[in-house]
Each structure stands twice: as structure tokens, then as C-alpha cells.
Amino acid sequence: MAPSPKVLVTTRLFDDAATHHLVARGCTVVPSGLAPDALDTDISDADLDRLLDGAAGWIVGQRAVTRAVLARHPGLKVIARRGVGYDRVDVAAAEDLGRVVTIAAGANDAAVADHTLALMLAVLRRLRESAAALAAGDWRVVSGSDLYGKTVGLVGFGRIARQVARRLHGFDVRVLVETPRPDFAAAGVTYVTLPELLASSDVVSLHAPLGPTTLHLLNGETLGRMKPGAVVVNTARGGLIDDAALLVALAAGRLGGAGLDVFEAETDPALRPVAEALVARPDVVASAHAAGSSREALARGNMISAHCVIAALLGEEMPAGCLVVDGR
Ligand SMILES: NC(=O)c1ccc[n+]([C@@H]2O[C@H](COP(=O)([O-])OP(=O)(O)OC[C@H]3O[C@@H](n4cnc5c(N)ncnc54)[C@H](O)[C@@H]3O)[C@@H](O)[C@H]2O)c1
Ligand SMILES: O=C(O)[C@H](O)COP(=O)(O)O
């Protein structure tokens, strides 16, 4: 290993504490050159190759890490996600090429769970319409629905969904869960199939990773199986929902609204008009992939990803939170 291994940081909102830690452990930190809150998907391929030249570590945001990029940079030993989703990283290629891929497991699960509840409640209580009316000087009451007493269906039951379930118990709701491995004995949840969950839930909240089995999990057909007036919440990944089909279902009045933090348009600019039509709707409460980005979660994720890179480069044991992921 070079005496002062180069670590490229392209994830947005990286902070000084994590940078100083990398430097203190002998790394040379190379920033992306973008504005601190800009997405690394905005870096051109040529600029990325220039930035990665000679890098041993890469703390990456939502940018795709492809086999081709990895092959062009044989000195790149470790790719660390500051978050937990790694659907944009070709982990099979990384494994083939002997590279380490890590995530910051648990760094942002509380933040995403809080945000999920915020979206759920905001849609149910029609806070967007209420706030807009009041801002326009209209003091009428905009009446929404209780969360209390409802049935909430969670798709996926990993770190985030379990935190969502814990929070939901305080609302006295029935919690249904659909997951491929219903082996976690959680009090107060009932494991069901996806068709059962869709048919019974007043709120459907998505917490599964994006992959071949979850792409367009909610599409025209499955949205049509949901209870009339039900609410959809997605704080997981754009691509779990067919956004065009969701727009059709909302416009037809089939659903009660949607809370959306993630959109297909994030990775497919051709779908921008669909995302824009969704976020313009009064029954949609939206944020721009911010669920996991509370100040506290960012600080944790930044420091964990720095630790992951250092451990991989210096051959140390991976510290708590650093989870090495593979292609299986
Ligand atoms: N919006 C944000 O800012 C943000 C932040 C963090 C995570 N995320 C997304 O949330 C996802 C979940 O995060 P996590 O930390 O809970 O991950 P996790 O790996 O702990 O849990 C994922 C769960 O999904 C389940 N799953 C896998 N395939 C499924 C399928 N076909 N149907 C139903 N369930 C399935 C898994 O068995 C597991 O229970 C991440 O993959 C990421 O994409 C988004
Ligand atoms: O996968 C995640 O945890 C979220 O998408 C947030 O990722 P980020 O921390 O890289 O923004």
C-alpha cells in the first residue's frame, strides 16, 4: 500500500470530522470538486476517471460503480457507501476483481424510520393541503385520517422496517410484514404474503432493496390490488414503484395519497416529467432522497465509511457498522 493512500470522496455532505479522521490515519483525501450537497451522478465519466486515477479508496454516493469503472482502476481496493443501499454498485464485479465493498449498516435506520412516519402522517392528515391553504390566508379545516387503528403493511423487514414497526406500535396500529425470510421473531407484527398485505393495508410502506425481485414491485397491477383510498410510502428506492403507474392510480382517485422520498427519475432522467407530476399533486408529500440524511445520520455514516476505508486499506478488522457486502 502506498504510504499515503488516496481516498476519493464523492458522496454529498461529507464532513470535516470524517475527513480529518482519514487524514489522521495517513490517507490523502481527494474531494469531488462538486458543491457539498451536489450528487456524484453529476460527475462526467471523464472527470470521474481523472479523480479515481491512483485512488485506493472511494467513498461513493449514488453514482453507479460499474465493472468497467472498476476494471479501469485496478488500484482501487475499497468502495465504501456512506449509506446502506448498494443497488448501484456492481458487487459481483467487485468480488470478481478482488475489491471490497462496504456499507454503513444502521447509520441511518432511525432517520429513515422517523422520515417514514413523517411522510405517513403528513399524507394521512393532509398537511400539505392544510399548510398551503393557511399560507394563502384560508383558515378552513382540512380534515385527514387517523393513523390510529389502521393497518400498515411493511414490505421488507430489515434494519429500517423494524425501526418503523417499533414506532408504529405507539400508534396502536396493526402491522403486517411481507419479507422473503420471515424468520425474525418480532412482537406485534404478522407475517403475510404480498397479495394479503396489499389487500388489507391502509398504508403500504416500502423497505426492501432495489433489485430484480423488487423492481416495480408496485405497478399498475399490484397498485390495483390495494385497498381503495390506501396510502403508499416509499423511503427505500426509486424503481420499487412504477412511478407512471402510481401517477395514474392517484389521478384516478384509486389511492388516498403518497409519501415519496425516492423516484425512478433519480437514475432515469427521462422519467423527470413523471416525478414532477407526482410532486405537484396535493395528495403527494415528497422529499428529495433526504430520509437518511438527518444531521446525526450523516455524521454517523460519514465516520463509519471513513472507518471502513481505513480498515480495508490498512488490513485491520472491520469496526462496528462497517458491513462488507458481497454479490450473493
Ligand atoms: N431514502 C433514503 O435516504 C434511504 C436511506 C437508507 C436506506 N434506504 C433504502 O432502504 C433499503 C432498506 O434498508 P435496510 O437498512 O432496512 O436494509 P436491510 O438489508 O436491513 O433490509 C432489507 C429487507 O428487505 C427484504 N427484502 C429483500 N428482497 C425483498 C423482496 N423481494 N420483497 C420484500 N422484502 C425483500 C430483506 O429480506 C430485508 O428484510 C436500502 O436497500 C436502501 O435502498 C433509503
Ligand atoms: O442508501 C442509503 O442509505 C441512502 O440512499 C442514503 O445514501 P447516502 O448516505 O449515500 O446519501
C-alpha–C-alpha distance, residues 280 and 17, integer Å: 38
pTM score over 0.80: yes
Question: Could you tell me how many residues make up the chain?
Answer: 328
Residue 289 falls in the annotated catalytic set: yes
Rounded to 5 degrees, φ, ψ at 265 are: -60, -20
CATH topology of domain 109-286: Rossmann fold (3.40.50)
Condensed to tens digits (0 to 9), the pLDDT of residues 312-322 reads: 999 999 999 99
Q: Do domains 6-107+294-326 and 109-286 have the same CATH topology?
A: yes
Residue 20 falls in the annotated catalytic set: no
Condensed to tens digits (0 to 9), the pLDDT of residues 61-115 reads: 999 999 999 999 999 999 999 999 999 999 999 999 999 999 999 999 999 999 9
Choosing from 63, 266, 300, 307, the catalytic residue is 266
C-alpha–C-alpha distance, residues 137 and 134, integer Å: 5
- Residue ranges per domain, the chain? 6-107+294-326, 109-286
**Judging by beta carbons within 10 Å of its beta carbon (0-12, 13-18, 19+), is residue 254 exposed, middle or buried?**
middle
Q: Find the 149 Cα to ligand 1 centroid distance in Å.
A: 26
Q: Which atom of ligand 1 is nearest to the CA of 161?
A: 16
Q: Is the ipTM of this complex over 0.90?
A: yes
Complete edge-to-edge strand list for the sheet that includes strand 28-31: 28-31, 6-9, 55-60, 78-81, 100-104, 322-325
Give me 89's grid cell. Answer: 454498485
Ligand 2: lining residues by beta carbon, under 6 Å: 11, 61, 81-85, 108, 292, 301
Q: For residue 274, give the nearest of 249, 235, 254, 247 by alpha carbon.
A: 247
C-alpha–C-alpha distance, residues 79 and 61, integer Å: 10
Q: Is the pLDDT of residue 202 over 90?
A: yes
Domain at 6-107+294-326, CATH from 3.40.50.10540, 3.20.20.70, 3.40.50.720, 3.40.50.360: 3.40.50.720
Single-letter amino acid code for the residue at 276: E
